[in-house]
Structure formats: structure tokens, C-alpha cells
Amino acid sequence: MTYRNPPTTPRKSATFDDYTLSEIRRAAATGIYDIRGAGAKRKLPHFDDLLFLGASISRYPLEGYRERCDTSVVLGSRHARKPIELKIPITIAGMSFGSLSGPAKEALGRGATLSGTSTTTGDGGMTEEERGHSKTLVYQYLPSRYGMNPRDLRRADAIEVVVGQGAKPGGGGMLLGQKISDRVAEMRTLPKGIDQRSASRHPDWTGPDDLEIKILELREITDWEKPIYVKVGGARPYYDTALAVKAGADVVVVDGMQGGTAATQEVFIENVGQPTLACIRPAVQALQDLGMHRKVQLIVSGGIRNGADVAKALALGVDAVSIGTAALVALGDNDPRWEAEYSALGTTAGAYDDWHEGRDPAGITTQDPELMKRVDPIAAGRRLANYLKVMTLEAQTIARACGKNSLHNLEPEDLVALSIEAAAMAGVPLAGTNWIPGKNGF
Amino acid sequence: MPATTMSKAEREQSHARVFDLSQHSLRELNQALHKLTPGSNETAWEVLNPKGSHSVAVGVDQPITIDVRGSVGYYCAGMNDGAAITVHGSAGPGVGENMMSGSIVIKGDASQYAGATGRGGLLVIEGNASSRCGISMKGIDIVVHGNIGHMSAFMAQSGNLVVLGDAGDALGDSIYEARLFVRGKVESLGADCIAKEMRPEHIELLQALLDKAGVTGVKASEFKRYGSARKLYNFNIDNADAY
């Protein structure tokens, strides 16, 4: 009998893990970077790393089903003659027609309207489905200016000047040829079937001084009626917020890196921009330093999933949040009922992110006439409204437990953090301590 | 005729509604223009003392004439939809941006981004235009009597850009289906922009544009045509060096 040395257990590298190896093989085979939809998938410090303290001897709670807890918010009161009032502080983020199907856009409008909140156009102009079914519609003003026209500008309820988005601060839109149908091509003034890469900078302004003049033009065209938002990706939230305020914005929208996109490079999504949690306090600080907190409203988006996330964002000083990915899931995106089809596409329900390919089994991120029939805009709109209702009730539950009669009365003092990173980013103490990393020189 | 040389009587005789920006605010001007309805008989307007103001006569949507006596700042006549607007001076950045229809004539020079993203109508610049003229144009016709600066017609999607003089660097970079006609020399062409044959239909189109813009003494045959090679329409890794 020969003696064999005992072998070690096969060990995979933490650096070269399975996903990394598969990406190297994919790149070597195709010669092109990976493009996908959605936002950052890596684990990041997030709202899960914060906890509410609740009421105790020093703070008394409100009765859950008896005492009122206000959820409404007014956006655009700084300069607009017609600010918008929303019943809940949760809005639907900009997602383009082109990226999404017509029925999906209609469903977003229906769901938002049932819930007393707003929805937003995207990098593809305003559709009749969307305008018709949205009581309050925010019209995005993007570098591409696809479909931009003064009539739609005037029938919008607010205008959002998009400087960047969280998934790709510094990147432009991308809509690949397979989704450029006749209707999408016409709205974008482009030949059918070409790969469409929107510009990353606006064609007629650069920098904060030009932005101020651009905002003046938009206000003059719309006779100072509409609230004007400025949306930025989570790059330099302190300075971007301050400069947007200086340029005259009524509302600043800050989108963290978990915020989704229809399509961009994986390397961009995962490596550029900051987590949502890291963006909030600097943005709030900028508003406070300028004496504009609550005068210019702050909307934050990127990875908002439930009422706890809403309550935590508001406690950190935000006026409203915006959801995109979660809204699509409520409509039916990545639903396990289509598992067989996800599997056939080489993925699984919950992981599907090739939204740019236009073959979405759920019929949402597609222009395929057969697939898009899978979205019933009335039923899907109802699901979105239900989901928004649940989020609102959840946020109210937490606010009442903290003794607050309005979601906007939540404050950083209601929170602690579970990790040093989250404590530093959110500017709240590490649980069980009075230590806020970075405060007082420690 | 400059405002200063026009007598009060002459002005009254012209039946134009005169709006003096040294007496009234920009807001009052634009509000008055936006209040006009299709039946209005106030079809001729004259704006005095613009003194470089931004956003003069933006968002006008009636077929009126507006004569601006002097130079304007940013975004003059932005999103114009049907008016015939003449600037008797020079224009700052973004003149006629996103024009839908109508016409804009700049008697002097125009700064950056003239006619950016314009969807229709005619923009005539009797002097020179700076960089990024016709950037992202989507159907507008632009005629420049002088020269244009660098990166003009960047990502131009549709419409016609006519230049009687020279064009700067990187003309038509990443161009889609817009047509570019240049009479003078082109410093360099941008990615995917190439010189193209002038066929009879292009001569005819160009001649019509020259006529419409009131250009005389210049023949369509003196121009060269440029447009998209359409090689970058669908991404191909072997073209990566072009981006």
C-alpha cells in the first residue's frame, strides 16, 4: 500500500471569484464590455445598516391607527407659480419610453395617480399614454433632447433638468438597435434599428453659470409656472447640490449608485458614483449651509425598497424619495412566473438585467408587440399603487413609533447605525455608542 | 433700420407693437408674446434695447414678426414655433435652440450652439457662427453666410446645415442623417463624417435653401456635401478607435 499525501481542499480565489472568471472569459470571447440594465449589484452600505430607536421614556409614541401622521409634500415652492403637492413622499423616477414599453409607462402613470404622486418621463420624450394617465407628470430635459418641444414642456407639471444619474454619473443614455422600433425611431428622429448613444453633456450649456441661464429660459418659456428640478448622479453631492441651488433649482434630485439604468457598461455601474447613503448627508448639509433646507426640496433615489428606507431617508433630511427598479418589480419585472423563459435566456428571475436586449419575458423593458401585451396597464398600475400604499403605511408606522405626526418630522436623532461605515456616511452614532465617525475630529 | 434712426412717427406708421426692454422687464415681454392667440392682430413686434438680455422672445408660438434692435444674450428665440424673428445685432449662445418652425435671422454673428437640437424652421446667420453650430440638430435648416467653428453638427440627426464660408475642426462628428453643405474649406471631419457626392437632388435642395435664406450671387454647385458614413450606427469593437 502506497502512502498518498493528504490533499488540500480546492480553494477558489476571493479576488478571482466565479463571476470575475466568467467575465474575463466573456470579454475574451466577444471583445466588448458587458452592457446591462439596473444599478450597482455589489454589497454597499445602505439603509439596512441604520435602525430607528423608537419611543421610550424620553419620547412618547403616537397611536398607530388613531393619531394622524402626515405624508404630503409640496415640491417647487421656491420659484414656481404652480408648485406640485403630492400625497406621499415617494415619486416614480424617470424611465424612458423606448427603454420601457408603452403599456409599462401607462401602468406607472396609473399607479402614481392612484397614489397621489408623480411619475416622470425619460430619455425618449413624452407619450400620450403617459400624459393621459398621469395626474402629475415630471418632464425630463436631457442632453439628447429627444422629443423635446414647447407644447409638452407646457403640459408638464414640472421639469427635471437631468445632469446625471446614479448608475452612470458622467455617462449618456444607451438604447441599442433592437429596441429602436418605428415609433421609438420617430420620437427620437433617428433611423430605425441603429444603436443609439445619447450625449453625456447638454448640447447648449456647460457648468453652473450656463445652467442658471438655461433654467431662466425654461422658466420664461413656461411663464414661471413649473417647478424646475435638477437631477444629478451621486458624484459630488455637496457641491452639486449647492451649485444646483445657485443655478435656481426648485428641487434637487440626487441619485445614488444603486439607482437603475436601462443600459450601460457593467464597469460603469459598479465603479463610478457613490452609494445612496453616502450622498444624503452632504446634500442636506449643502442645503443647510445655504439656508435652503426645506425651501429647495431634496429628492433622493437609488435602492429605495420599503417604508423603512423611505423613513430613514426622510429622517436624514430628505423631502421625498424616488423609486425606479422597485416600481418595475411591482409591475411584474423579474417575476418568477416567467422562470422558464428567464432560464432560456441564460439567467434566472431576480437576476435578469439585459433590459437593453428588448426580450424581457415580463414585457416591461421591451418594444416587442407580443411581449408587451403581458403588461396589463390597469392591473399593473393597481399593483404599483398597492405597493406605494404599503410603503407609505410602513413609513407611517415607524414615524408614529418615533412620536412623529409627520414623516417629515423624523430626524437624524431617531437613528443609529450598525456599522462604522454607515455611521460615518449617515452622520448618526454607531449603535450602543455616542460615536459619529468624523465628528469632533475622531 | 436701427431703432435710433427711426422716428416716432415712422414707428407708429409701421404698426409694430414696440417693447422697450429698458422700460419693461423680460418677463413682461415674454408673457405678452405668450398671451397672443391665433386671431390676434398684433402680428408685428419690435423689441428695443435688448442689451445682451438672455431668453429674449423664447417659446413664441404664433406666426408673428419680431424685430429685435440690438444684440442678445443666450437662447434668443429658443423653441420658436412659427414666428419670424430678426435680430439686428449679434446673438449669444444657443440662439434658436430647439426651434420647431418659423424663421430666425441674425444680422450679425452668433455664438456657440446656434440652432442646437432644432427640429424645424430656418435659422440664417448673416455673419459667422462659433463652435457647435447645429449640434444635435433634428430637422432644422441652418444657413451661415460666414464661417462656423469647431465641432459643428456634432451628432446632427436630421436637417440641413449650409455654410458659405469655412468650417472648423471635427465637422459632423458622430453625425446621423443630417446633410452638411460647405462652400469653403473644412479644417477636419469628425468621426464617421465623410465627403459625399453632390447629386442633382442635392443641388436642387441646396439651391432652394439658398433662395429661402435670401443668398444671392452664390451657386449651389460651389458647395461640397458631407454626411454620415454610417459605419458607427451599430457598435463594432473593431471601430473602437474611432470613438
The pTM score is 0.95
Angle, to 10 degrees, between the axis of helix B26-35 and the axis of helix A207-221?
Answer: 40
* CB of B146 closer than 8 Å to CB of B165: yes
CB contact under 8 A, B78 and A194: no
* Structural domain count, chain A: 1
Please indicate, yes or no, if residue A86 is contained in any of the structural domains. yes
DSSP tally for chain B: helices H, then strands E: 3, 11
Q: A129: closest CA among A161, A98, A150, A154?
A: A98
Give, for A154, the enclosing helix (H) or strand (E).
Answer: helix A150-155
CB contact under 8 A, B98 and A148: yes
CB contact under 8 A, A150 and B79: yes
CB contact under 8 A, A149 and B31: no
Phi, psi for A94 (deg, rounded to 5):
-70, 125
Which grid coordinates are listed for B4? 435710433
- Work out the end-to-end distance of chain A between its first and last CA atoms, rounded to an integer number of angstroms: 65
What is the Cα–Cα distance from B215 to B206, expressed in whole angstroms? 11
CB contact under 8 A, A194 and B233: yes
pLDDT < 50 stretches in chain A: none
What is the Cα–Cα distance from A284 to A6, expressed in whole angstroms? 59
Please indicate, yes or no, if residue A126 is contained in any of the structural domains. yes
Look up residue A295 and give its amino acid.
Answer: K
ipTM for this model = 0.93
Mutate which of A144, A189, A357 to test chain B, going by most B C-beta atoms within 10 A? A189
Please indicate, yes or no, if residue A11 is contained in any of the structural domains. no
Min distance A197 CA to chain B CA atoms (Å): 9
Task: Note the pLDDT tens digit of each residue in A22-56.
Answer: 999 999 998 888 999 999 999 999 999 999 999 99
User: In chain B, what are the domain boundaries?
Assistant: 1-126, 128-243
CB contact under 8 A, B94 and A149: no
Task: Note the pLDDT tens digit of each residue in A369-396.
Answer: 999 999 999 999 999 999 999 999 999 9
Q: How many residues does chain A have?
A: 442
Please indicate, yes or no, if residue A217 is contained in any of the structural domains. yes
Min distance B219 CA to chain A CA atoms (Å): 30
Please indicate, yes or no, if residue A251 is contained in any of the structural domains. yes
Q: Does A63 touch chain B (CB under 8 A)?
A: no
Of B34, B117, B235, the CB nearest to A145: B117
Mutate which of B35, B53, B74, B133 to test chain A, going by most A C-beta atoms within 10 A? B74
Number of CB pairs, chain A paired with chain B, less than 8 A apart? 104
Strands (E), chain B: 17-20, 44-48, 65-69, 81-87, 101-106, 122-125, 138-144, 158-163, 179-182, 193-196, 224-228
Please indicate, yes or no, if residue A253 is contained in any of the structural domains. yes
Confidence at residue B2, expressed as pLDDT on a 0 to 100 scale: 45
Please indicate, yes or no, if residue A340 is contained in any of the structural domains. yes
Confidence at residue B11, expressed as pLDDT on a 0 to 100 scale: 54
CB contact under 8 A, A217 and B55: yes
Q: Does A206 touch chain B (CB under 8 A)?
A: no
Of B73, B136, B154, the CB nearest to A145: B136
pLDDT tens, residue order, chain B (243 aa) = 444 455 555 555 567 999 999 999 999 999 999 999 998 999 999 999 999 999 999 999 999 999 999 999 999 999 999 999 999 999 999 999 999 999 999 999 999 999 999 999 999 999 999 999 999 999 999 999 999 999 999 999 999 999 999 999 999 999 999 999 999 999 999 999 999 999 999 999 999 999 999 999 999 999 999 999 999 888 776 776 666
Of B34, B78, B234, the CB nearest to A194: B234
Of B30, B113, B235, the CB nearest to A203: B113
| CB-facing half-sphere around the CA of A333: CA atoms within 13 A | 26
Q: A190: closest CA among B113, B174, B20, B22?
A: B174
Confidence at residue A321, expressed as pLDDT on a 0 to 100 scale: 98
Q: Does A221 touch chain B (CB under 8 A)?
A: yes
Confidence at residue B242, expressed as pLDDT on a 0 to 100 scale: 65
Angle, to 10 degrees, between the axis of helix A102-114 and the axis of helix A377-401?
Answer: 40
Please indicate, yes or no, if residue A55 is contained in any of the structural domains. yes
Classify residue A171 as left (phi > 0), alpha (psi -120 to 50) or beta: beta
Chain A's closest residue to B113, CA to CA, is A204
CB contact under 8 A, A222 and B27: no
Cα Rg for chain B, rounded, in angstroms? 19
CB contact under 8 A, A203 and B136: yes
Torsion of CA A110, A111, A114, A120, to 10 degrees: -80
Domain carrying residue A178 = 35-431
Specify the CATH number for the domain of residue A357.
3.20.20.70
Contacts of A191 in chain B (CB under 8 A): 176-177, 233
